A = this chain, B = another copy of it.
Amino acid sequence: MRLSQLFTKTVRDAPGGEVSKNAQLLIRAGFVYKEMAGVYAYLPLGLRVIEKIKQIVREEMNPIDSQEIIMTSLQRKEIWEQTGRWSDETVDIWFKTKLKDETEVGLGWSHEEPIVEMLKQYVQSYKDLPLSVYQFQTKLRNELRAKSGIMRGREFVMKDMYSLHSSAEDLEAYYNRAIEAYRRIYARLGIGDDTYVTFASGGAFTKFSHEFQTICDAGEDVIYLHRGRNIAINEEVIDDAVAEMGINRDELEKVKTAEVGNIFNFGSQKTDDMGLRFTDANGNQASAYLGSYGIGITRVMGVVVEKLADEKGIVWPEAIAPAKVYLIRLGDNEAVMRHADELYATLTGRGIEVLYDDRDLRAGQKFADAELMGIPYRVTISDRLEADNKFELVVRQNGVQELLTQDELLAKLG
C-alpha cells in the first residue's frame, strides 16, 4: 500500500485523557480511533493486525475440530434466567436495551448460555458428541472504568470456543488439546516465552480453571511463578494452590501479568441447568460436559503493543504486523523514484506486504513514522545509496542496519 493513498496519518501526541500506552501508541500510529473510553474503531492498519491475529487463532482452532460460527449480539432474557445470570446483581457488566414492545433484551457480554441453547437443537444422541464450535464475536461489557486502552474494552473482539462431551474424561482430553493449541497461538503471536498456563479460581466442576497470563507491566493481574517446575498460580488462588501442590511459597516469584486467555471446565452444571441432555449408547438420558475457551483478540493485540514497544513506538512481531516491509524513498531524484517503484512492484509481486512511503516528506518524518508504526523491516533508497547500487535495511526489533544489493535484499526478505 502506498502511504500517499492511506487516509490515516501519524500524529505526534496522543489525545488528552488517554492514559494507556497501548492506545496512545495505536492512536498516534493511526491504527485505531477512540470513539469513547474503552470503545475503539480499527482503521486500515489496525484492522489488518486484527485479521492476522484472527487467522492465526482460526488456524489453530480448526485442527482441533472446532467449527466456526457467529452468534448474535442481541440476546433473550429467558436464556440467561435459566442459569441465574440475567440479574445485574450477579453479572454487573450487562448492557441491556428494549424492543419496541418493551421486551428487555441483553447485548452479548458472553455467549455460553446462547450457545448451549442453540446446541440443544443439534444434540440428541451420543453420536452427536463430541463437538466444538467457536466464533469471533464483538462483545459488549459495561465496565465501570475503562482505562487500559484496547486491553480492557467496553466493546472488543473475542474468540470464544465451546466444546461439548459425553463424559468428563472426554472433556478433560479435549481441554488439554485446547491448552496445547493455545500455547501454539501465543508462540505464533510472539509472546509465547512470557506466557504461562496459570491456575486460577475454578468453578462448578474443577478446583482450578486455567488462565493464560503474559508477563506485562501494564497487566492487571499478579501471578506467582515457579520457574523450575513451570507452574504459575494466580494470586486469587495462591493459598489453595500451594497447599494442593506442595510448593514452598519462598520458591515463587511474583510478577505482573495480563490475562490473554482463559479456559474453563463447566462440568455438566450449565448443561443440566439448561436442560441439554443426550441419549447415551444404552438409551438412557445423560448429562453433557461443557468446556469454554476464550482469547480476547483485541486484548492480545494491546498486550503485544505494551510488551514489545520501545521508546520509538510499536514493534510488531512479523506474524501480525500490518506489513512486513516499510519502503522509504528519499528525495525527488527520478532514478531513485523509479527504482523505489520497481522495488515496490517486485516485493508485492512476491507476495510481500509493503507500506511504501512515497509521500513528499522529510527523511526524519519518514523514519519516525516507520518506527512508530513498528513495521519489522525498513528499506530505504536514496540518491547516495542509488550511487552505490545499495539499499539500506534496518530491522525494527534490534536496530541492526545493513547495506545490501537488490539481490541480497530480496534473499533476506524471502
Chain A residues near B (Cβ < 8 Å): 5-9, 30, 33, 35-36, 39-44, 47, 50, 65, 67-76, 95-100, 105, 107, 114, 118-119, 121-122, 128, 131, 133, 138, 140, 142-144, 154-155
Contacts and interface: CB of A to CB of B under 8 A. Distances in A.
A10 to B, nearest CB: 11
Nearest to A38: B74
Given A35-B76, A76-B35, A69 B95 contact: no
Given A74-B154, A107-B107, A122-B8, A69 B97 contact: no
A291 B50 CA distance: 27
A107 B67 CA distance: 29
B97 A107 contact: yes
A121 B39 contact: no
Given A97-B97, A142-B99, A74 B122 contact: no
B65 A42 contact: no
A299 to B, nearest CB: 16
A74 B35 contact: yes
26 contacts: A7-B122, A7-B128, A7-B131, A7-B133, A8-B122, A9-B122, A33-B121, A35-B75, A36-B105, A40-B72, A41-B71, A41-B72, A41-B114, A41-B118, A42-B69, A44-B68, A44-B69, A47-B68, A47-B69, A47-B70, A50-B70, A73-B138, A73-B155, A99-B142, A100-B144, A107-B107
A73 B72 contact: no
Q: Which 7 A-B pairs have the closest CB atoms?
A: A7-B131, A95-B97, A41-B71, A44-B67, A35-B72, A97-B97, A100-B144
Contact of A35 (B42, B71, B96): B71
A107 B107 CA distance: 10
A27 to B, nearest CB: 9
Contacts of A6: 67
A252 B362 CA distance: 61
Nearest to A100: B144
Nearest to A111: B41
A7 B155 CA distance: 29
A91 B44 CA distance: 30
Contacts of A47: 68-70
Contacts of A96: 97
Contact of A73 (B5, B8, B42, B73): B73
Contacts of A41: 69-72, 114, 118
Contacts of A71: 35, 41
A47 B67 CA distance: 10
Nearest to A115: B41
A155 B72 contact: yes
A55 to B, nearest CB: 12
B7 A67 contact: yes
A114 B68 contact: no
B107 A39 contact: no
A74 B36 CA distance: 9
Contacts of A65: 5
A291 to B, nearest CB: 15
A84 B98 CA distance: 22
Contacts of A7: 67, 119, 122, 128, 131, 133
Contacts of A75: 35
Nearest to A137: B138
A279 to B, nearest CB: 15
Nearest to A121: B33
B76 A36 contact: yes
Contacts of A95: 97-98
